[in-house]
Amino acid sequence: MANELNNIAVTAAGKELEALPRYSGVYRFFDASDVLLYIGKSVDIRARIQAHFQEGRKPGRHQRIMGQVERIDCQPTAGEVGALLMENNAIKSEAPLYNRRQRRVRKLWTIHLCRAGNGFLQPTAADFMLDSDRAVDSYGLYHNKRHIDATLRRHARDHGLCLRCLGLDRGRGPCFQYQLGRCDGACAGEESGEEHNARLLSVLDRDRIAAWPFTGPLALLERNTTPLTGQPGQQYHLVDHWSYLGTFPSLHGVQKRLGLGGTRCFDRDGYRLLLAALGKGRLEVLDAQSGAALANPILGLDRRSWA
């Protein structure tokens, strides 16, 4: 049976709270030995945790988790975006026992596009270095080159793309797939390079990881005009080349973190969270070094063309 909620210690910033807070944020469940069991987030921590305990009254996995909870630690955020970013980062860095495993991948490959002399875009396998600049668009994340080759050949078969024009088949004249009716004829002059390129981009676009469209790191300001007791009125999320580097109460904290240096680490889930928030205009975009306001080139764009 799950522990009764009124017997659970509730803390925030190391101080005990009289009741679960109603603000947005990240919460952590600990057992009697202070082992981290679970990390979650919500726009209303109290309502979400009460739902956990209701679910814990039923036999099953949730009951096993909630039966071990002895302390709940609450970390307030100014809004939902901060809660999403902090939860995603915390699960991967703190590895709680009962969250779905979200390990950081050490080695990945991606697809880059280059234009051949005949005007056709050709995909090439590239090392997706997690700590590098995102200087150009990348398409998809793969564990090895074989997966890339198999994916491209499947796209070619399903969408009438020419393997020869893609640089995946050698020879001259119409390709073998054209003779079988599986190629739309770019190799036979029946389709222009522009048409073939447009179809290739359309196929790859759903897996696109956009190049970083800024000249340096950002401080993404999230405001809350009506914060609750204990909740920050604003927070700055430090991001560089899509890598989330932390959340801070002030620009001074952001700049202090920048001064520490260290490596970035691209995270696909964090990238998607940032892309959605920027596309919806939920954050103010500031230069992390100077604090100057910047234009948001992602605002209002079709998210499908960026994710």
Chain segment 241-279, per-residue pLDDT in tens: 999 999 999 999 999 999 998 888 999 999 999 999 999
Chain segment 28-42, per-residue pLDDT in tens: 999 999 999 999 999
Whole-model pTM: value is: 0.88
In a 3-state reduction of DSSP, which class is residue 159?
helix
* CATH 3.40.1440.10 residue window(s) in the chain: 5-94
pLDDT the model gives residue 303? 52
Span 204-215, average pLDDT: 94
Compute the radius of gyration of the chain from its Cα atoms.
24
Of the given ranges (2-6, 40-44, 55-59, 114-118), which has the lowest mean pLDDT?
2-6
pLDDT the model gives residue 307? 45
Angstrom distances, CA of residue 53 to CA of 50, 230, 285? 5, 23, 38
pLDDT band at 1 (very low <50, low <70, confident <90, very high): very low
User: What is the bridge-based pairing of β-strands 9-12 and 71-76?
Assistant: parallel
Distance, in Å, from the CA atom of 204 to the CA atom of 8, rounded to the nearest integer, reads 50
pLDDT the model gives residue 103? 58
Angle between helices 80-94 and 268-279 (to 10 degrees): 180
Superfamily of domain 5-94 in CATH is GIY-YIG endonuclease (3.40.1440.10)
Chain segment 81-127, per-residue pLDDT in tens: 999 999 999 999 999 999 986 655 668 999 999 999 999 999 999 99
Angstrom distances, CA of residue 85 to CA of 141, 147, 239, 306? 21, 29, 11, 18
Task: Count the helices and strands in the chain (H runs, E runs).
Answer: 8, 13
